[in-house]
A and B are shown apart, each in its own frame.
Chain A
């Protein structure tokens, strides 16, 4: 189940899209989300689709992979679709028992479902083509001007890196502890919600205790490796804006400008 989630799973490569400055990619993704909400009719979706297909093609990520990212969210997409389908008032197309489908409802539900699908596809390209490390680097750099008002940009990025590093370790540990308690007759699968929650205690307590122990040891190891916060720190791979980044920004500004304009024409 957890393995199925494509969002956040990096697809390694050496393409232009992979090489773009993570800051550019993060900001473009934000602009993409915002412009999606500016769209108020169907035909600009063709531009969106063209954008997604072009970027996917350029990134070398198989389109199947991008579509797989939709799978865990199918439920949400369907809910959005049906709520809009049945809840929108207007000219009745047909009725099935208590369910009424209107022309506006059909239009609205398709529109909203597509918006959600494009949203997921567009943003998953960011995480598919950007390694977690450069993603956090990018976030750190984008947030760093806010250090002046006391935002701990470096600490936030470091926390994210460590979280990413330890997620697989903790998943593995969860599996192990679960099995160990099952070997002592613990039951994680049956019973009502209350008893199930209670049954999680033998899993959660050791998991937390071990996580604290790990944190303690990691802190000591980091200190031994001269870690003293973000000051004076350099990076192995400094992120720099290059020509391709400026080109990408120019193209995207025009593209998103056009998208916003479609609202008025």
Chain B
């Protein structure tokens, strides 16, 4: 098991009139090699939860065990935790600061105290993973790049730490469809290469449906649902009551089924819907 969260509570501004319970008794297990989609309305506690996972926020109570180490204990080695659990914030391009792309990506590995040749190979590898050409871009200023490229540099900066768990907070926010597909494609490739656990925070049901193998839904500081995408998207009404939806194709198949057609509404992608409909329509046509 990679991460185990037990009875986690977090209260903002305790003992003041602004006291708010951001996380309420969270219990969650994340296995090695999971690709998790973390869903929830703004203010549901997603951001607070992920910042607990690399020790940026200290819980009010409860424990978080990462790779066998309780990170909530006093004197926990934060550097090694942050190396193990990489966190890419929303709009990460706004934290770039170095003169060159190379130096910015090397910032993390340098903080880990690695030697120059190791840093060099990590920067190269990280740039390759996010589809940035090393030779032509390494000496450019990150501020001259396009929006999509800047974001890739920022993601590479976290990948260069070689984390075992990678958390991405809405990595496609503000990108156009092409930029979104490219970034999601790279994340998928990274996952397929193995040896990494990914937590993807997203608002897009369509993206989550075609990528992840497990979904965690948060609502009002609690975990409201947990399961495979198929299991979670079956509960469309509940999701809607939390201000979330289901992919449009899934919604369509449900409607189609309701109007008296004997199809399975357990589809997540356009391809699956097509297969199911063709099977149904052709069989009916042949009858």
A positions within 8 Å CB-CB of B: 173, 176-177, 179-187, 201-202, 205-206, 209-210
- Contact pick for A182, options B56, B83, B94, B97, CB 8 Å: B56
Question: Which B87-140 residues have C-beta < 8 A from chain A?
Answer: 87, 89, 92, 94-97, 107-108, 111-112
Find out whether the CB atom of A210 lies under 8 angstroms from the CB atom of B94.
yes
Chain B residue numbers with a CB within 8 Å of A183 are 54, 56, 82, 86-87, 89, 158
Find out whether the CB atom of A182 lies under 8 angstroms from the CB atom of B82.
yes
Known contacts A179-B56, A202-B97: does B82 contact A185 (CB below 8 Å)? yes
Number of A-B contacts (CB under 8 A): 53
Find out whether the CB atom of A180 lies under 8 angstroms from the CB atom of B111.
no
Find out whether the CB atom of A179 lies under 8 angstroms from the CB atom of B89.
yes
B161 contacts partner chain A, Cβ-Cβ < 8 Å: yes
CB nearest to A179 among chain B residues: B56
In the bound complex, CA of A54 to CA of B8 (Å): 49
In the bound complex, CA of A176 to CA of B56 (Å): 11
Known contacts A184-B107, A185-B82, A185-B111: does B97 contact A205 (CB below 8 Å)? yes
- Contact pick for A184, options B51, B82, B143, CB 8 Å: B82
B37 contacts partner chain A, Cβ-Cβ < 8 Å: no
Beyond A173-B94, A183-B158, A184-B108, 14 additional pairs, beta carbon < 8 A: A181-B107, A183-B54, A183-B86, A184-B111, A184-B161, A185-B107, A185-B108, A185-B111, A186-B107, A186-B111, A202-B95, A206-B94, A209-B143, A210-B94
- For the complex of A and B, the 9 pairs showing the least CB-CB separation, nearest first, are A185-B111, A205-B97, A184-B108, A183-B87, A180-B95, A180-B89, A202-B97, A206-B97, A179-B56
B76 to chain A, nearest CB (A): 14
B177 to chain A, nearest CB (A): 24
Chain B residue numbers with a CB within 8 Å of A173 are 94
CB nearest to B79 among chain A residues: A185
Known contacts A182-B56, A184-B157, A185-B161: does B83 contact A177 (CB below 8 Å)? no
In the bound complex, CA of A181 to CA of B158 (Å): 10
Chain B residue numbers with a CB within 8 Å of A179 are 51, 56, 89
Question: Which B248-271 residues have C-beta < 8 A from chain A?
Answer: none
In the bound complex, CA of A176 to CA of B86 (Å): 15
Find out whether the CB atom of A177 lies under 8 angstroms from the CB atom of B94.
yes
CB nearest to A177 among chain B residues: B95
Residue contacts A-B, CB under 8 angstroms, 16 given: A176-B95, A179-B56, A179-B89, A183-B82, A183-B89, A183-B158, A184-B107, A184-B108, A185-B79, A185-B83, A185-B111, A186-B107, A187-B111, A202-B107, A206-B96, A210-B94
Chain B residue numbers with a CB within 8 Å of A184 are 82, 107-108, 111, 157-158, 161
| Chain B interface residue bracket vs A | 20 to 34
CB nearest to B109 among chain A residues: A185
Chain B residue numbers with a CB within 8 Å of A206 are 94-97
Chain A residue numbers with a CB within 8 Å of B51 are 179
Question: Which B44-92 residues have C-beta < 8 A from chain A?
Answer: 51, 54, 56, 79, 82-83, 86-87, 89, 92
In the bound complex, CA of A202 to CA of B95 (Å): 8
- Contact pick for B97, options A176, A185, A187, A201, CB 8 Å: A201
In the bound complex, CA of A16 to CA of B94 (Å): 46
Chain B residue numbers with a CB within 8 Å of A205 are 97
In the bound complex, CA of A82 to CA of B79 (Å): 43
In the bound complex, CA of A60 to CA of B157 (Å): 53
B119 to chain A, nearest CB (A): 12
CB nearest to A205 among chain B residues: B97
A186 to chain B, nearest CB (A): 6
CB nearest to B108 among chain A residues: A184
Chain A residue numbers with a CB within 8 Å of B112 are 185
Chain A residue numbers with a CB within 8 Å of B83 are 185
Chain B residue numbers with a CB within 8 Å of A182 are 56, 82
A11 to chain B, nearest CB (A): 13
CB nearest to B92 among chain A residues: A180
Find out whether the CB atom of B82 lies under 8 angstroms from the CB atom of A181.
no
In the bound complex, CA of A186 to CA of B107 (Å): 8
Chain B residue numbers with a CB within 8 Å of A185 are 79, 82-83, 107-108, 111-112, 161
Chain B residue numbers with a CB within 8 Å of A180 are 87, 89, 92, 95
Residue with the greatest number of chain B CB neighbours at <10 A, chosen from A177, A180, A201, A210: A180
Chain B residue numbers with a CB within 8 Å of A201 are 97
Chain A residue numbers with a CB within 8 Å of B158 are 183-184
In the bound complex, CA of A183 to CA of B55 (Å): 9
In the bound complex, CA of A202 to CA of B92 (Å): 13
Residue with the greatest number of chain B CB neighbours at <10 A, chosen from A182, A184, A185: A184
In the bound complex, CA of A182 to CA of B95 (Å): 11
- Contact pick for A181, options B86, B95, B161, CB 8 Å: B95
In the bound complex, CA of A180 to CA of B111 (Å): 13
